[in-house]
Amino acid sequence: MSAHGTPIPMTSHKCGPLSGEAHVPGDKSISHRSLILGAMTVGETRVTGLLEGQDVLDTAKAMQAFGAEIEKKDGTWHIHGVGVGGFAEPENVIDCGNSGTGVRLIMGAMATCPITATFTGDASLNGRPMARVTDPLALFGAKSYGRAGGRLPMTIVGAADPLPVRYATPVPSAQVKSAVLLAGLNTPGETVVIEREATRDHSERMLAGFGATITSENSDEGRVITLQGRPEFTPQDIIVPRDPSSAAFPVCAALITEGSDVLVPNIGLNPTRAGLFFTLQDMGADLTFENMREEGGEPVADLRARFSPDMKGIEVPAERAASMIDEYPVLSAVAAFASGKTHMPGVKELRVKESDRIDAMAVGLRAAGITVDEGEDWWTVHGRGFGDVPGGVTVQSHLDHRIAMSFLVMGMATENPMRVDDGQPIATSFPIFETLMGDLGAKITRA
């Protein structure tokens, strides 16, 4: 049974060429941060292009619970914030649904306010580790009380007199980095985060845009990010670029579906997010960037993906992992149709996402006729080449939207249909997935 309601099995059938334009939703990472930073600003922040998936809507509800006024009018979201340090204590438990990004960033934002809040989520989120965030938040003076293993439900008691922190992230995680920076906003002095491997930098870009004094420099320790506490935020008008993680699905579907030619407009190509597209090009994919430009401080382009039957397996650089961590499931589906081995090292973070994504994809791929080797922080997909992937099985989504979509994309080119046991979690990040793919020519049925 899905924690989102009655399971919705979905089946993807081999189809003809995919063609047309795929207008994917707004970037989820930027959408979360727009709501949280807007709620920490005095005045009105206006956001267009916000992703209206369940994860982001849950963050909007959370910000309302902390005192912000949020409403949507004529396609634009209006956020009247309470200022840095101005959060009110919520009256009820904050339910973050399926969103690890939402809960971890919100914990950081409230951890240096003198309030108490309790967080929960669905079965998937309540099984994910929170100590990676609550440990550094404790250094500010916040206290946390959760289930064994640092799991939700969890109560955070914010620090009444927060202390500035210098923190080196033990794992490459934009969520951990961002939580610490958000906690540093209501802390006097300088908060410093050191990351050995650079992760997506939306938080740094957006904090600067709202008026925070924040610097980043490379050193022998790694990337050193320094934030001056207690800034005066200025309300913003934000245009959210379209999500590269969502764009991955129509792009990858076009590459493996015979005769396809799909344009995916207005995709954010922040270098800390675009690793998948460069990896696909390295494999020999016919994938091009058109109309390169900059919007709202972020690089943007239109992506054109054409059927690419001659892709080759490659060694994916480990240092690229942070820039494509959410895209490895769909990359592994594409790798099944490439010739030779695609080896993906440095990906242990996949073990603690909405599901153990390495295990979930490996089990499903093997059932579909693909050989997969795996270790704790790596996996290898032995591709069979185009036209030789059997499929014809039902796989478990494990309440994970990206697992579900990856196998549905795979089924567009397997010899036999691919079925996922529950496609309902797709709505958390890509609520128009079925409609969009159907408009391109995909055949996805609910059964």
Give catalytic residue positions.
326
| Domain shared by 204 and 133, yes or no | yes
Closest CA to 56 of 85, 36, 86, 83: 36
Quote the pTM value.
Answer: 0.85
Residue 289 structure tokens = 């960037």
Containing structural domain, residue 273? 10-26+242-445
Q: Do residues 350 and 328 lie in contact, with contact meaning Cβ atoms separated by under 8 Å?
A: yes
pLDDT mean by block of 10 residues, the chain; 447 residues = 72 98 95 98 97 96 98 97 98 96 98 98 94 97 96 98 97 94 98 94 95 96 97 94 96 98 95 95 98 84 98 97 95 98 96 92 98 96 97 96 98 98 94 97 96
Same domain, residue pair 205 and 107: yes
How many domains does the structure of the chain reveal?
A: 2
* SS3 state at 333: helix
Are residue 177 and residue 83 in the same domain, yes or no?
A: yes
Q: Are residues 106 and 183 in the same domain?
A: yes
301 token code pair = 């382009």
Claim to verify: residue 264 and residue 141 sit in the same structural domain: no
Same domain, 21 and 38: no
Query: What was the pLDDT predicted at 4?
Result: 53
Question: What is residue 3's predicted lDDT score, i.e. its pLDDT?
Answer: 45
Please give the structure tokens belonging to residue 116: 């108490």
Domain stop point among 228, 250, 269 = 228
> Do 141 and 261 sit in the same domain of this protein?
no
256 shares its domain with 212: no
* pLDDT reported for residue 295: 75
pLDDT tens readout for residues 401-428: 999 999 999 999 999 999 999 999 999 9
Residue 237 located in a structural domain: no
Q: What is the pLDDT of residues 144-165, one digit of tens each?
A: 999 998 999 999 999 999 999 9
Task: Based on the fold, state whether residues 318 and 364 are members of the same structural domain.
Answer: yes
- pLDDT of the residue at 296: 64
Q: Is residue 345 part of a domain?
A: yes
Q: Are 175 and 136 in contact, with CB atoms under 8 Å apart? A: no
Amino acid 2: pLDDT: 38
CA 326 to chain centre: 6
Q: How far is CA 208 from CA 31, 81, 160, in A?
A: 16, 17, 26
Query: Which pLDDT score, from 0 to 100, does residue 298 have?
Result: 82
- Residue 1 is predicted with a pLDDT of 34
Is residue 19 located within the same domain as residue 59?
no
Q: What is the pLDDT of residue 254?
A: 98
Domain boundary (228, 251, 286) is at 228
